[in-house]
Amino acid sequence: MTKSIHTDYFFDEAAYNTHDGGYVPLEEPKTPQQPLRIPPLLKPDKETATDTYYTVEAQAGETQLLPGKKTKTWGYNGSLLGQTVVFKRGKTMHIDLKNSLPELTTFHWHGLNVPGPYTDGGCHAPVYPGKTRHIDFKVDQPAATLWLHAHPCPSTAEQVWHGLAGLALVTDDVEAKLPFPRNYGVDDIPLVLQDRRFHEDNQWDYEADYDPDGVQGPTPMINGTINPYFDVTTQRVRLRILDGANRREWRLHFSDDLPFTQVASDGGVMPEPVEFTHLMLTCAERAEVIVDFGKVTPGHTVTLYSDDVPLVRFRVHDFEADDVTLPDHLVDIPNPDVTPNTPVRKVVMSGMDEQVMIDGKKFEMQRIDARQKVGNVELWDITNTNDMDGGMVHPFHMHGTQFLVLSRNGHEPYANEHGLKDTVGVNPGETVRIKVWFEHTGVYMYHCHIIEHEDGGMMAQIEAYDPDHPQTYKLMDMDTLMNAVAEERGIDVKDLKLPGMSSYEKMGMKM
């Protein structure tokens, strides 16, 4: 490959969260290094040639994160984060979603192309404590690193902060033929990047740390590990990196500027590999990168940093030579023609703190903001009206589809934005044009993925419809939700405070 290596982070320097008044700098943990936790693969309850059966259970538990007291955490099939679910393309999944938490939650499959709003698992698909919801769907999209997280508006941010974030890997025959490392846990490892603040007795306190522009903590937590190392035993390692933080942007680079190659983005393998020394991810974005340790002497350590704070130390051991070079072209990406006579859809993300809105409105669960016919291909212009000097990057996310990024303010998108995406960072003062089509009917949310912004109302919803098969949906409403949560907590609904509510109240709006 004779391609150039990208040595900057692409995004507008002035918009980084480091410039925000409430920015919480990362700090290097002072606690001993620990082996990186690798989320186990979730074992199917049953599997046939065509069908896979899983049970995904949201549960509360305790996790030894720091020396001393364990931290109270939530997770899927474990005390923190989740077991990794594998979806083989072409197979039909049957999943029991079990809620063993003390409060209602939802199971949202971020990046999965499935019908909305119930299978998709947004706010309209609550699972009450002690109850189970069942979903079935056929996996029909390219191999990709997706994730599962709670999405019960307006408590999404708090539940994710408690630990409800797991990985879901789509596999297919196309990716399987590419010369990528894929021995899970050995040379194919997920890296869920999060940050937390530890309070008294090693506990998290979401309320104490609350910031309407997104909650941050000074301690990096990778796969639910504080101060991790990973033993490298192969020349090449594939990292499936997820920005699973509520608000933090990660500016990633290795010690000695070791180059690495991004091979996949949110929706799967990219048409061409892209080489980096520095890569920034915004909330919910994924990047699969292959790191070649071939020039590192065994016994040495290569450190992955965000800015100047170490995230993971890769201790390089002896390995067999593996000088596989990647092809210049990896996969073909669908690029359907825009449906004739279709106007460009405009979406405006405005405000910061409590003022955040989409198209001048805050989210309402029972309001459908837009409609698009299934199969139609539209251009969407996503504008961030924050001003360049004092604004922030808003990561725009769509449920129910993977889109293509066409341009940024009329210019070429970034070098790693030529694949399928479900989340795109929009700089202040910028308009990002994307190409959007839906393959399934449903009501889907689209929103900023700074999770406190979505809880604060920077969210809207679209119905993808099929005129030949009109459908009606039972949408969640605020009264039902508030009454349920108040009952779970044993308090009067008048005394109930949910995290996103203050953003509505301060704007004189009703949630």
Q: Is the CB of 369 or the CB of 439 nearer to Cu ion?
A: 369
Q: Is the CB of 230 or the CB of 396 nearer to Cu ion?
A: 396
Strands 85-88 and 144-149: unpaired
- Min CB(316)–Cu ion separation in Å: 38
- Distance between CA atoms of 278 and 9, rounded to whole angstroms? 6
- Min CB(200)–Cu ion separation in Å: 31
Neighbours of 60 (CB within 10 A): 15
- Min CB(426)–Cu ion separation in Å: 9
The three-state secondary structure class of 499 is coil
CA dist 306 → 42, 128, 250, 333 (Å)? 30, 38, 6, 30
Q: Is the CB of 136 or the CB of 389 nearer to Cu ion?
A: 389
Q: Is the CB of 89 or the CB of 397 nearer to Cu ion?
A: 397
- Interface characters, 448-467, with Cu ion (x: CB under 5 A): x-x--x--------------
Specify whether the backbone of 457 is left (phi greater than 0), alpha (psi in -120 to 50) or beta. Answer: left
Q: Is the CB of 279 or the CB of 448 nearer to Cu ion?
A: 448
Cβ within 8 Å of residue 288, ≥6 positions away: 145, 238, 239, 240, 241, 262, 263, 264, 265, 269
Q: Is the CB of 126 or the CB of 425 nearer to Cu ion?
A: 425
Q: Contact at 8 Å (CB) between 247 and 487?
A: no
CA dist 509 → 90, 355, 361, 502 (Å)? 45, 11, 10, 10
- Min CB(347)–Cu ion separation in Å: 13
Please choose, out of 90-98, 239-247, 274-282, 388-396, the segment that lies near Cu ion by the rule CB under 5 A: 388-396
Please choose, out of 35-43, 230-238, 386-394, 418-426, the segment that lies near Cu ion by the rule CB under 5 A: 386-394
Among 89, 124, 236, 394, binds Cu ion (CB under 5 A): 394
Sequence letter at residue 287: A
Q: What is the dihedral sign for C-alpha 497, 500, 502, 504?
A: negative
Distance in angstroms between the alpha carbons of the first and the last residue of the chain: 53
Q: Is the CB of 155 or the CB of 223 nearer to Cu ion?
A: 155
Q: Is the CB of 397 or the CB of 453 nearer to Cu ion?
A: 453
Q: Contact at 8 Å (CB) between 282 and 252?
A: no
**HSE value, Cβ hemisphere, 13 Å, CA-based, for 311:** 22
Q: Is the CB of 226 or the CB of 448 nearer to Cu ion?
A: 448
DSSP output for 270-339:
EEEEEEES-EEE-TT-EEEEEEE-TTSPTT-EEEEEETTEEEEEEEE-----------S-------PPPP
- Min CB(458)–Cu ion separation in Å: 5
- Min CB(430)–Cu ion separation in Å: 13
Site for Cu ion in 395-414 (CB under 5 A): none
Q: Is the CB of 269 or the CB of 284 nearer to Cu ion?
A: 284
Q: Is the CB of 127 or the CB of 448 nearer to Cu ion?
A: 448
Q: Contact at 8 Å (CB) between 236 and 182?
A: no
Q: Is the CB of 112 or the CB of 450 nearer to Cu ion?
A: 450
Question: CA torsion, points 285, 381, 500, 198, in degrees to nearest 10?
Answer: 20
- Min CB(125)–Cu ion separation in Å: 23
- Min CB(260)–Cu ion separation in Å: 28
Q: Is the CB of 394 or the CB of 433 nearer to Cu ion?
A: 394
- Closest chain position to Cu ion (CB): 448
Please choose, out of 224-232, 235-243, 324-332, 447-455, the segment that lies near Cu ion by the rule CB under 5 A: 447-455
Element (H, E) at 377: strand 377-384
The reply to whether 418 sits near Cu ion by the rule CB under 5 A is: no
- Min CB(356)–Cu ion separation in Å: 6
Please choose, out of 54-62, 419-427, 442-450, 473-481, the segment that lies near Cu ion by the rule CB under 5 A: 442-450
Neighbours of 59 (CB within 10 A): 17
- Min CB(447)–Cu ion separation in Å: 8
Q: Contact at 8 Å (CB) between 120 and 400?
A: yes
Binders of Cu ion: how many residues, by CB under 5 A?
4
Sequence letter at residue 65: L
- Min CB(195)–Cu ion separation in Å: 17
CA dist 38 → 75, 82, 188, 191, 481 (Å)? 14, 10, 10, 9, 35
Please choose, out of 113-121, 134-142, 282-290, 440-448, the segment that lies near Cu ion by the rule CB under 5 A: 440-448
- Min CB(330)–Cu ion separation in Å: 31
User: What sections of 377-494 are H helices per DSSP?
Assistant: 451-455, 478-489
- Min CB(166)–Cu ion separation in Å: 23
Please choose, out of 142-150, 203-211, 310-318, 393-401, the segment that lies near Cu ion by the rule CB under 5 A: 393-401
Strands 51-63 and 5-6: unpaired
Sequence letter at residue 427: N
Residues interacting with Cu ion, by CB under 5 A? 394, 448, 450, 453
